Amino acid sequence: MIPFSPEVFFALFEEYNLAIWPAQFAAYALGLLVLILAVRPSRVSSGVIGAILAALWMWNGVAYHWFFFAPINFSAPVFAGFFILQALLLLWKFVIQRDAMIGFRRDAPGITGLTLMIVALAGYPLLANVADHGGLQSAVFGVAPTPTVIFTLGVLLLARPRAPLVLMIVPLLWSVIGGLAVWLVGIPEDVVLPVAGVLAVNLVLWQRRGQA
């Protein structure tokens, strides 16, 4: 069971979206920049992408989970810790260590990854509108966890030669936790999250077997 009702949850999102307005536009601008850099990679694009993703995960950890979600969910500070950890790992792997390059290729991981990124930016809000809780009550890319995680899984599938496994752990955990919202809170669009998690983990493992 969850410690809040669907009505309380959607009211929280409305309050949150109003409080941070117009940060949503900045988040979408950053998402589009990541999409462009992934399709047209350069020498510095992977570091820029890693830094942007880290900033978005940090925002979700601090602004959403810690400050807004915590009053209605006692688990929110734990979630905040995981999101902050993921932000630091993204910085470490893509900005400091530069373990992998991010760039689109016409293979199964690449096509799936690009599709997940587009779904997070465009498909997810459309599904929310169909489910009749769009607008201010919807989870917006970059400033809300679920579309941000879907987007991140897509980016990780574009990592070459392969995505660092340590970067998959928190997004996959959230794909399970967040996926429960489909039934517990009544957010049908969140079914995309566990689907994205299953696709991502299988494709990453397939990549690693092929490169072994």
Q: Does residue 1 lie in a domain region? A: no
DSSP track, 101-144: EE---SSHHHHHHHHHHHIIIIIHHHHHHHTT--GGGSPPTTTS
| Residue 212: pLDDT band with limits 50, 70, 90 | low
The mean pLDDT value of the chain amounts to 91
What pTM was estimated for this model as a whole?
0.95
| Count of domains observed in the chain | 1
pLDDT at 122: 94
pLDDT at 7: 81
Any idea which of 132-136, 169-173, 199-203 has the lowest mean pLDDT? Answer: 132-136
- CB–CB of 91/54 below 8 Å? yes
Percent of the chain topping pLDDT 70 = 95
Do you find a cis peptide bond into 22, omega within 30 degrees of 0? yes
Range of the domain at 80: 6-211
